[in-house]
Amino acid sequence: MLNRRTLLAATAATSLAACGRAGPPSDLLRVATSGLPDSLDPARGEFAAAALVYKQIHAGLTEYAPDGSVGPGLAESWSVDESGLVWTFRLREGLMWSDGHPLTAEDVAWSARRIVDPTQSFAVLGDFYAVTNARAIHAGDMAPDQLGVSAPDDRTVEFRLDTPLGLLPTLMREFYPFPRHVIERVGLDWVRPEHIVTAGAYTVTAESQMSLDLVRNPRHYAVEQVSIPAIRIDGVREDATRMRLFRAGDYDLADRPPANQIDYWRERLGDQFQSFDAPILRYLKVNHARAPLEDVRVRRLLSRAIDRDFLAHEFYADTAAATEFVLPGGVVTHSELTPQAGGVSRPLQIRTTTGEGERLAVAISDDWARFGIETELLVSYPTDLYQAVDTGDFDIAIASFNRGLKSDPFFMLDPFAPDGFAANFNWDDEIFAELMAAARRQNEPGARGQLYLAAMARIHDQMAVIPLLHERAHWLVGERVIGTRRDIQPMLWRDLELIDG
């Protein structure tokens, strides 16, 4: 990916030539993101950056509707039987892969078997374990052809579950079928530009460590609604560098402006600086296996001692909301604490990364120091931090996750459930696990929502993690880009348009 050093010469040249250079291509959307996918194969990609690109080049059985809800994708309709255990998806007529090969229900069934095959997939299955035999197959105890999925005809796919899963259509927005006819011919090389075949709005024509080139897929089922012919994505690691290049006119769309400059750039960029409500949680991950943090009274003390309003104002220019709860909408309790509150007899180590996390850690350490709680800061690279947390070598870690366009409460709570990607802090709570399991089984949205509230209350009661802030997502949107909405992030580029600037 591009960083400060590799972009220094290019930035200087851009500044010198800015007055005399030609305008940007009228048919090319130029995007700068903080990272690129580690793989274009959804069965093997693990970086968060992959999810954004997958939305452009792959197609799910269901899709994100323009308002972020669930809408038809490859499947035009779906239904569940009375038991809640058999879901039937009906594919659109005449579906094709980008190379013109028919896309059939058997492709979908084969793809489901591939995603659970441990020899083919690195995917975190999560609630896909609800599909009959998925867990045993993923553990290597059964063959993939025993998965509870079938294709009765070319347009019908059936999923048989071991337990009801009311959110299955929502989850299917990011279950992306694979081109079996290509994979069986070239194997894992199917994602190379010379081989890749996709079903999404775009397909890939070139790839490097620094960029991806996409072109509109002429065989996408809704190609007439895809306005932009081509997209260039550059991975620009440093927030400040992305900002400079956007300001220089090199990009039409860029994510994550510098967190410590939000107020400054919001004032200067006006409508080009856009902010969105987003499922982004910043929190403290607490190791429940280490004394004194296994004591809920200590965890509550640590939480109450943090001045969250200061964090929101000082580091996020009040674009983040202070919170004590995993789900948005909770009220922060301002209660009186006395110095030397006790309960913490040794220094607590806070692990974090440089930049934003380090600044938050310093402020929190200062809050705790006022109550006689000593801390030690350990600042490292993200990979070192993740490894330390996964192996249990931490007291407290500054953590966050961004669920993109996944606004359902499920996606904020599920990371902490058994098998969740953030459930690596030695908290094993049967009550929370059962509430989440009951919510998964519930098909009725209102009843499911009540279960989520109860699950959130359980996390708060036990202070399993210490929520800090609900952050907003910030995007830089150039004057050439139209079609963005004020209530949903510009992550679905098939819905955008370009005008000559």
Digit-coded pLDDT (tens) for 52-97: 999 999 999 999 987 778 999 999 999 999 999 999 999 999 999 9
Is 1 a residue whose pLDDT tops 60? no
What's the pLDDT tens digit per position in 98-107?
999 999 999 9
Amino acid, res. 306? I
**Nearest to 211, CA basis, from 193, 227, 199, 223:** 193
Q: What three-state secondary structure class fits 343?
A: coil
Find the mean pLDDT for residues 465-490: 93
What per-residue confidence (pLDDT) applies to 17? 39
> What fold, for 58-184?
Dipeptide-binding Protein; domain 1 (3.90.76)
Residue 223 near residue 435, CB atoms below 8 Å: no
Hey, where are the domains in the chain? 26-56+188-275+474-498, 58-184, 278-472
Provide the percentage of residues in the chain whose pLDDT is more than 90.
73
Biggest distance spanned by C-alpha atoms of the chain: 71
CATH architecture of the domain formed by 278-472: Roll (3.10)
* H helix or E strand, kind and range, residue 447: helix 445-462
- Tell me how crowded residue 61 is: count the other CB atoms within 10 A of its CB: 27
Could you tell me what percentage of the chain is helix, strand and coil, using 3-state DSSP and rounding each to the nearest 5? 35, 20, 45
pLDDT digits (tens, 9 = 90+) for 399-410: 999 998 888 899
Q: Is the pLDDT of residue 20 over 60?
A: no
501 or 377, which is more confident: 377
- Does 278-472 match 58-184 at the fold level? no
- Cβ-based neighbour number of residue 294 at 10 Å: 14
Q: How is residue 307 written in tokens?
A: 């001045």
Question: What type of residue sits at position 461?
Answer: D
Digit-coded pLDDT (tens) for 436-446? 999 988 888 89
Residue (of 303, 260, 333) closest to 396 by Cα position: 303
Domain 26-56+188-275+474-498 has CATH 3.40.190.10: yes
Report, as an integer, the average pLDDT of 6-27: 53
Radius of gyration of the chain (CA): 24
- Please provide residue 379's backbone torsions phi and psi, each rounded to the nearest 5 degrees: -105, 130
Q: Work out the pLDDT band at 125, boundaries 50, 70, 90.
A: confident
Q: What is the pLDDT of residues 318-350, one digit of tens each?
A: 889 999 999 987 767 766 666 655 678 899 999
Rounded to a whole number, what is the distance in angstroms from the first to the last CA of the chain? 28
